[in-house]
Amino acid sequence: MIDSGFDRRDFLKVLGWGGTAVALSGCGNTSIENGKETVVSYVEAADYVIPGVGVYYNTTCAQCDAGCNINGRVREGRVLKLEGNPDSVINRGKTCGLGQAGVQHHYNPDRVREPLLRKGSTGEAISWEQAYALIAEKLNGVKGEEIAFLSGNVSGHFKVLLGNYLDSLDSNNHFVYEALAPAVMRASSKKAYGVEMPRYNIDKAKVVLSFGADFLGTWISPVHFSQQYAQFRKGVDGQRGVLIQVESKMSLTGANADRWLAIRPGTEGILALGIINALGTATGAVASLAKEYGRARVSKETGVAPGQIDKIAALLKLHSPSLVLAGSAVEGYAHGSQNAAAIHLLNQVLGNIGKTIEAAPVVPFPQMAPSTGKTAALKALAGGLNSGKYKVLFNYGANPVFTAPGAMNFKSSMAKASFKVAFAHYLDETALEADLVLPLDSALEDWGTQVPEYMAGGVQINIQQPLMEKLHAGTRGAGDILLSLIKQRRPDEYKSYEDYYAYLRGAMLQNKGALGGAGMDDDTFWNDALTKGIITLKGAAVSLSGTAGAGDLRLPTSAEGDAQYPLHLIPGITPNLRDGRQANQPWLQESPDPLTTIVWDSWVEIHPKKAAELGIVEGDLVEVTSRTGSIKAQAYLFPGIYPEAISIPVGRGHEAMGRYAKGYGVNPFQILDEVYDEETGELAMNETRVKISKVGQRVLVVKDEGAAGGKQMGKKIAVRVSTDEVDLSEEV
């Protein structure tokens, strides 16, 4: 938001005088630097290095956990550009914006450059020897059960080594936490299909009915799904696929849908049962359950017009196979598991299981398969910390002080551990609370292996390798740190590995045969793996069960907010920022949000009708208050939201993490109540109720979209009706 005190007239004045100033400086020729600029040559040049000519290396994108294979252009020893690896079945040569911004993670000026030890409120730089000695000293006399290790998703050899380290400490307390993980979906898929992460064939479906699954923007493996979606739109047998998106807040996928339906938050399961009823093809227990969900009742509870329910049912009947997706938007309720179960049941009734939903092959090395993050893990950790159970806390790849719900107050829980070690790229909110910060190599400097959770093709192991020399001498690879730590406990077992690279190479060569290198000599196999960046394996095939039936499916009747907190708060997940771990990459801050086109700031999405009712116009600063807390942000009027809900995007509002993240926007995680899914114990992200009030200030919303609200200055170029006049639920 910018203050509107600086008007057009002032702007022109400054521009004029500024232009004069520039002209006076005579900058016409200053880019020629004969005799001024130094040209530095190599002391010794490798044969393949030619100045000005790029060399390409394959590695794995570390910006999210989808495991896209990428290659980086390296010129004069510097990595310049990341693109997709064309041989990858996951992303087939493409990357998303997040992936493109990976270089800004690497070159970020706010990276931690040496180990820091807490001295009061500041960090004092110490040597690595001192850091390791300190950890050994602090662990001395601490029992295994008093040590906890918090991490984000981990897989591959790092996971194996981490497991061995915790084993050497005699600790079982590995908490894997991801703020935006589809954990409820995993549990409900396990129940309905027999596997946690099935493979979805969007490209083979003729109709996709997505309940809040933003598969083009943020859901599971968006680059892969985007390519499937392109195929789906081209159509099977020349018949273009139809996408129906049902959600309370429009996502990027919703914006691309043929039909977009706003639904009362939390009633997605009811609509799914209503559709089963309208289809009329179910039998037995499912049919008798669905019978309770007649058109009138479903329409009343969900806010979806009866005609729409019939249209969807008719479309699903007409075109088979179809695919019904339960996205993260349906998970975020106390009955999230039930919501998802009802949606899976719809797939079963439609006979999609085995056609558009298949089982992915199983990773033949279970110890390398990904440990997937859950919010329930954070709750368990916080409980343990509060009761004083854990004395030493390690943290790698998670930022719970930023992403935990405000009601949990994780910062104070964390303070209860007497010694906290953070493996960190940046001083984020969690690293700032640590006693010892160990600086990590960037993802483009480090070695590693990764096994993606969503298997697009066969089983694959992704190779992560350095694209260039380290930028800062004082950083270490996460695997190297772990290896040094485990050497403290089991020196005999690990002394032969000089570094993590040696460990990785040794471990891979040991299993050469199983990794597809039977008969190759060691160097050939290893070089081949590094060149390709992907090791493809045959995984064991499994089949889906798909006979879950109605079971104990119970859906609560929809509840609006109470009188005090009348609105639903839906934390928005944007393709640019996700859970906010990349908020310090300026390309992501400055690239406009795909739906609102707002940059560098947070906003509160309000339906125009609701805004009119409350007397709010675009740019009004509003205070959003929940039982847990309140935040202030600019209002943005957006017709793509259920009128009784508001949405604030997550990812911004950092209080630390460097110059590009700190102080931009607000953090809605801070005002989330602690409501959990009853079945899985996962945080119910969308259960927080809020009230909204005007602060009394108004700002100019900084966005790409024209001032007329997308009307293109009154010219009807692409649309026939301006967006604020469209009733989106009536389209198509």
Partner 1 sequence: MHRFLRLSILLTGLFAAMSSYAADNSQPALTTPDDLGPKIEQPIEFPHNRHAGLRNPNDPTNSDPANGGMEMDCQYCHTYARRSAVAGIPPLQKCIGCHQSIDTVRDKPRIQELFKYWDAKKAVPWKKVHDLPDFVRFNHERHIKRFVEQQNRPTQEACGYCHGDVKNMTVARRSKPLTMGWCASCHEKAHPVTAEGGKAVGKQAYWYSFSKPEKKSGAAEMPNEVKAQGPNDCWQCHK
Binding residues vs partner 1 (CB under 8 A)? 5-6, 10, 13-14, 17-18, 20-22, 24-27, 29-45, 50-53
- Smallest gap, in angstroms, from Cβ of residue 50 to partner 1? 5
User: Would you state the structure tokens that stand for residue 308, as one six-digit string?
Assistant: 């729409």
- Smallest gap, in angstroms, from Cβ of residue 43 to partner 1? 5
User: Would you state the structure tokens that stand for residue 709, as one six-digit string?
Assistant: 């609200």
- Location of structure tokens 């590009």: 660
- Smallest gap, in angstroms, from Cβ of residue 85 to partner 1? 25
In 3D, which of 426, 427, 382, 389 has the Cα closest to residue 406?
382
Strand order in the sheet with 322-326: 259-262, 242-247, 207-211, 322-326
Q: CA–CA separation, 648 vs 629, rounded Å?
A: 14
- Smallest gap, in angstroms, from Cβ of residue 106 to partner 1? 23
| Dihedral angle, C-alpha 259, 263, 268, 271, nearest 10 ° | -70
- Smallest gap, in angstroms, from Cβ of residue 49 to partner 1? 9
User: Would you state the structure tokens that stand for residue 680, as one six-digit string?
Assistant: 């899985």
Phi, psi of 165 (to 5 degrees): -65, -45
Residue nearer to partner 1 on the CB measure, 10 or 292: 10
Give the chain's end-to-end CA distance (angstroms, integer). Answer: 35
- Location of structure tokens 């471990």: 507
The Cα-based distances of 670 to 150, 155, 282 in angstroms read: 20, 29, 44
Residue nearer to partner 1 on the CB measure, 76 or 705: 76
- Smallest gap, in angstroms, from Cβ of residue 47 to partner 1? 11
Q: CA–CA separation, 404 vs 178, rounded Å?
A: 10
- Smallest gap, in angstroms, from Cβ of residue 83 to partner 1? 19
- Smallest gap, in angstroms, from Cβ of residue 11 to partner 1? 10
Helix (H, G, I), strand (E, B) or coil at 490: coil
User: Would you state the structure tokens that stand for residue 264, as one six-digit string?
Assistant: 């009362």
Residue nearer to partner 1 on the CB measure, 53 or 540: 53
Phi-psi region of 200 (alpha: psi -120 to 50; beta: other; left: phi over 0): beta
Q: Which ranges constitute the DSSP H helices of 140-262?
A: 156-168, 183-193, 222-234, 252-256
Q: Specify whether the CB–CB gap between 638 and 607 falls below 8 A.
A: yes
- Location of structure tokens 């929940």: 626
Name residues whose C-beta falls within 8 Å of residue 171's C-beta, 6 or more positions apart in sequence: 144, 145, 146, 147, 148, 149
Name residues whose C-beta falls within 8 Å of residue 27's C-beta, 6 or more positions apart in sequence: none
User: Would you state the structure tokens that stand for residue 362, as one six-digit string?
Assistant: 């199983």
Residue nearer to partner 1 on the CB measure, 32 or 563: 32
Cross-strand partners of 135: none
Helix (H, G, I), strand (E, B) or coil at 265: coil
Cross-strand partners of 236: 239
Residue 527 class from Cβ within 10 Å (0-12 exposed, 13-18 middle, 19+ buried)? exposed
The Cα-based distances of 60 to 65, 98, 314, 457, 539 in angstroms read: 10, 13, 43, 16, 20
Residue nearer to partner 1 on the CB measure, 41 or 121: 41
- Smallest gap, in angstroms, from Cβ of residue 35 to partner 1? 4
Q: CA–CA separation, 500 vs 447, rounded Å?
A: 7
Q: Which ranges constitute the DSSP H helices of 519-657?
A: 522-532, 586-590, 608-614
Residue nearer to partner 1 on the CB measure, 51 or 458: 51
- H or E stretch covering 450: strand 448-450
Phi, psi of 612 (to 5 degrees): -65, -40
Residue nearer to partner 1 on the CB measure, 54 or 513: 54
**CA 644 to mean position of chain CA atoms:** 26
Q: Which ranges constitute the DSSP H helices of 322-477?
A: 328-331, 336-350, 375-386, 400-403, 410-415, 429-432
- Smallest gap, in angstroms, from Cβ of residue 51 to partner 1? 4
Q: CA–CA separation, 17 vs 409, rounded Å?
A: 51
- Smallest gap, in angstroms, from Cβ of residue 15 to partner 1? 11
Residue nearer to partner 1 on the CB measure, 37 or 492: 37
Question: What is the amino acid identity at position 566?
Answer: P
Residue nearer to partner 1 on the CB measure, 75 or 233: 75
Residue nearer to partner 1 on the CB measure, 44 or 562: 44
- Smallest gap, in angstroms, from Cβ of residue 399 to partner 1? 36
